A and B are shown apart, each in its own frame.
Chain A
Amino acid sequence: MDTQKTEQITFRVRRYDPEKGSNPHFQEFTVPSSRGLTVLDGLIYIKENLDSTIAFRTSCRMAICGSCGMLINNYPHLACHTQIEEFHSNRLTIKPLPNFPIIKDLVVDLIPFFEIHKSVKPYMLRNDSNEMENPTAEFGQSHQTLESFLQFTYCIKCGICVSACPTSASDKLFHGPQALAQCYRYCADNRDAGELERFPVVGTDHGVWHCHLAGACSESCPKGVDPALAIQLLKRRVMSRTLGLGKKEPPASTVRPSAQAKPKLPFPEFTVKQG
């Protein structure tokens, strides 16, 4: 596809309007597209020029807010992050994310998703509330410890992993890869002391033990967060706490800043090699 040449792409969008009471059906639109245009650009073109009743979520258009997750040619993508050219076809089928209830057209209901995320307590839990409310110094954390959970902090809560998970497809009470990965992110953070509060929530049948390592969540994650790895490490952690194995480290304590002004350090070298 040349930058100058435009091709006519057929967008086959699944429409559903609860106020009209109709069943979901497909509607086709023809969108002129050239190199560099994303699926989101195509949908905005449809909304501005062809049919203004089409409903979809969008915000940042740069793959950082997590609003525009949808099923494009039967695979979940972020619409702003997906070029039309990468499908090498002039026919795209766009459906809302599965495993979430549909509100209208491509907009799905994410409130149950966020409720489950809240139930794993995704915030620092510590015993010293004085330090938390009136902080006097930084908490000490080496960059090895940071690296052991940094990858899982990049989650943008888009819900694509939950729609890829086969267990989420059938088990309505399953927490989903996103909540379990975030639970691990907080348990692995050495500043946090709330493991014992989170484990009874996730260490249940419909929690971490219904994950059977299908790996579709990590494969489809648009930010490379790898929730499957987080869940398996969480299983290892729950198992060793239940059996009483492994050393239990106390949460990080405060580190007084040194008296002389420290020079600004460059970003540290990663201890795990890339590639």
Chain B
Amino acid sequence: MRRYTYLWLMQLVTGVLIAVLLGIHMVMQHLEDILRFFGVNLNDPASWNSMIERSRQVIWAGIYIALLAVVLYHALNGLRNVILELTPSARTERVVTWAILAFGIIIFVWASYVPIALLSR
């Protein structure tokens, strides 16, 4: 019982964290015209130069890796819940849980390699 309760509680907590971190990311990438209206000039975050500048700062690498971790947990736990609602046998549940866990760890390691590698370039 404790395990399932903590899984659900982490889903809530990561949900709130994503609303903050991904909110910053979306506002930076997609709402720059509206921000310019308020006097905050971001210089086209999708362009190469602005990106290189950001990838050299530790704080941005930290934010992106944190965002990746919480999004992966929230999305894969959600996917696990959807799949478990469709397949009730206990053996299938264990297989699905381990498969999703392995998938999550692989993606996290692979996708966090790039921000760390780019820090030093």
Contacts and interface: CB of A to CB of B under 8 A. Distances in A.
A–B interface present (Cβ within 8 A)? yes
Interface stretch (B3-11, B21-29, B36-44, B66-74): B3-11
A91 interface: no
Given A200-B1, A242-B2, A209 B85 contact: no
Given A209-B8, A210-B81, A242 B88 contact: no
B4 A203 contact: yes
B52 to A, nearest CB: 43
Interface of A: 167, 170-174, 199-200, 203-207, 209-210, 238-239, 242-243
A273 to B, nearest CB: 31
B86 interface: yes
A239 B85 contact: no
Contacts of A173: 88
Interface of B: 1-2, 4-9, 81, 84-86, 88, 93
Nearest to A209: B8
B88 to A, nearest CB: 5
Contacts of A167: 85
A237 to B, nearest CB: 11
Those 3 A-B pairs whose CB atoms lie nearest each other, nearest first? A203-B1, A242-B5, A171-B85
A242 B6 contact: yes
A243 B8 CA distance: 12
B19 to A, nearest CB: 18
A206 B5 contact: no
24 contacts: A167-B85, A170-B85, A171-B84, A171-B85, A171-B88, A173-B88, A174-B85, A199-B1, A203-B1, A205-B84, A205-B93, A207-B4, A209-B4, A209-B7, A209-B8, A210-B81, A210-B84, A210-B85, A239-B5, A239-B8, A239-B9, A242-B1, A242-B9, A243-B9
Contacts of A204: 1, 4
Nearest to A212: B81
A174 B81 CA distance: 12
Contacts of B88: 171-173, 206
A167 B5 CA distance: 18
Contacts of B85: 167, 170-171, 174, 210
Given A172-B88, A209-B4, A242-B6, 20 more contacts: A167-B85, A170-B85, A171-B84, A174-B85, A203-B1, A203-B4, A204-B1, A205-B81, A206-B84, A207-B4, A209-B7, A209-B8, A210-B81, A210-B84, A238-B5, A239-B8, A242-B2, A242-B5, A242-B9, A243-B9
A65 B93 CA distance: 38
Nearest to A174: B85
Nearest to B1: A203
Contacts of B5: 203, 209, 238-239, 242
> Which interface residue of B4, B81, B88 has the most chain A CB atoms within 10 A?
B4
Contacts of A200: 1
B1 to A, nearest CB: 4
